[in-house]
Every structure is written in C-alpha cells, then in structure tokens.
Chain A
Amino acid sequence: NAGVTQTPKFRVLKTGQSMTLLCAQDMNHEYMYWYRQDPGMGLRLIHYSVGEGTTAKGEVPDGYNVSRLKKQNFLLGLESAAPSQTSVYFCASTNRQGRYGYTFGSGTRLTVV
C-alpha cells in the first residue's frame, strides 16, 4: 500500500550515542516533515523539507539534523542523544499545496537512557 514508512519502529539509545531515523514515502509528495510527540504537548515540528535537497528548521530543531538527498526519503539524525529526546517521532508528507492533510508514518518510539 502507498504511504509513509518509518524505520526503525523502536530503539533504545544510551546518552551520547547517535542514530538515524529513516522516512520513505512513495506518493511523490514534495513536502516532508519530522514531528515529535510528547504527552500533553501534541506534535511539535522538528524539521521539514519542501523538496529534494532542501531542509528547514521547525519549532524544536536543537539536537537534530536532517537530510533529503532523494525526494522520497527524509532522514532525521541525532548526533549525541540526550534523555530529553526520549519521544515518539513521526514523519509526515503532503503535496505541494498542503491543503489536503498529511499522510503519517507509524512512528518511531525512541528511549534514551
């Protein structure tokens, strides 16, 4: 089925370790986003991309980096994980207009100990 695929689904990191979360979409969407979800805080935008080779900061970008080398993939990196980055991470994509809503991935549950 067409959609957004996130890998991995679960991960436990030690403080200071690094990792990359992968998001892949097969809908030819221009715009892609990384959000984090924390209890009682809704979803907060980390970084986003409006096309291949472009990225921009969202509301809570500190401690994260992103890359979009191919249109279908959007990678989120944590260079030195901290316990405050324990969260559920969601990738989403939409068409250029964005008026028709996002398609979300199923999420990555990250725990930093």
Chain B
Amino acid sequence: AQSVTQLDSQVPVFEEAPVELRCNYSSSVSVYLFWYVQYPNQGLQLLLKYLSGSTLVKGINGFEAEFNKSQTSFHLRKPSVHISDTAEYFCAAPVAGGTSYGKLTFGQGTILTVHP
C-alpha cells in the first residue's frame, strides 16, 4: 500500500529564515500529491498540489514544493517564513491499489514553529 513519510515531526525556525519540510512517498509510479496546512484548532486547508507537468509547484502563502520521481520525494519549501506560518503541515498521496476512490493517505505531520 502507498505510504507517506514525513521525515521531521517538528521543525523550529526563526522568522525570515528559509524552511524545508520533507516528505517521501512509497510508490515510484506517477501519482498526484498534496500538502495541507492546519492552523491551531482549525481544519486542514489545501496548500498546494502536484498533478502532472512541471515538477515545481507553487501554492498559497509563498510555499512551493518540488516533485522528484526518482527520489520519491515531495518536499515543501518557503524562502522566508513568518510567524503566521506556525502550523502543522501534512503531506498526502492517494491510496494505492485498485480504484482509490479519492482516498488519501496522510503523513504523520510536521509541526513548524516560527520564532521571532
């Protein structure tokens, strides 16, 4: 079955510093991939998605992610973070095997904490 691994459970960073949140997925076949963001006490919001085409995907709030098929990775990056980026971030991929019916498998989450 498809699995998603987020390599860091917590990432502390200072304001205006760059950040990278790492995500690996298990399958090497073409997939579509997502990053979601969850602010405290809220639901998840779609940050960006990779469907096909350009491997560099831009999302909301200045985030971008690069799809790397050979390394089965989909790392999320931002060149300069703000305090307001403090949140938990989830990488997600479709469940493998047969018809997925849109089902997603989620990574364990990475808590990004931006310090002043």
Residues of A that sit less than 8 Å from B by CB: 4, 31, 33, 35, 40-45, 48, 50, 56, 58, 90, 92, 94, 96-107
Size class of the B contact interface (CB-based, 8 Å): 20 to 34
Residues of B that sit less than 8 Å from A by CB: 4, 9, 32, 34, 36, 42-46, 49, 51, 90, 94, 100-109
User: How far apart are A92's CB and chain B's nearest CB, in angstroms?
Assistant: 8
Q: Knowing that A43-B44, A102-B104 touch, tell me 8 more A-B residue pairs with CB under 8 angstroms.
A: A4-B43, A45-B104, A50-B102, A56-B101, A96-B102, A104-B44, A106-B42, A107-B42
Q: Which among B43, B102, B107 is the interface contact of A42 at CB below 8 angstroms?
A: B107
CA distance A100 to B32 in the complex (A): 9
Q: Which among B9, B46, B100, B105 is the interface contact of A98 at CB below 8 angstroms?
A: B100
Closest chain A residue to B104 by CB distance? A102
Q: Which among B43, B51, B103, B109 is the interface contact of A99 at CB below 8 angstroms?
A: B51
| Contact assessment for A40 and B109 in the assembled complex, using a CB-CB cutoff below 8 Å | yes
| Contact assessment for A106 and B43 in the assembled complex, using a CB-CB cutoff below 8 Å | yes
Knowing A101-B46, A104-B44, A106-B42, the reply to whether A40 touches B9 (Cβ < 8 A) is yes
CA distance A107 to B100 in the complex (A): 24
Closest chain A residue to B100 by CB distance? A98
| Contact assessment for A31 and B107 in the assembled complex, using a CB-CB cutoff below 8 Å | no
Knowing A99-B32, A106-B43, the reply to whether A31 touches B108 (Cβ < 8 A) is no
Smallest CB-CB A-B distances: 3 pairs: A98-B102, A104-B43, A42-B106
| Contact assessment for A50 and B32 in the assembled complex, using a CB-CB cutoff below 8 Å | no
Knowing A42-B107, A102-B46, A107-B43, the reply to whether A50 touches B51 (Cβ < 8 A) is no
Q: Which among B51, B102, B109 is the interface contact of A31 at CB below 8 angstroms?
A: B102
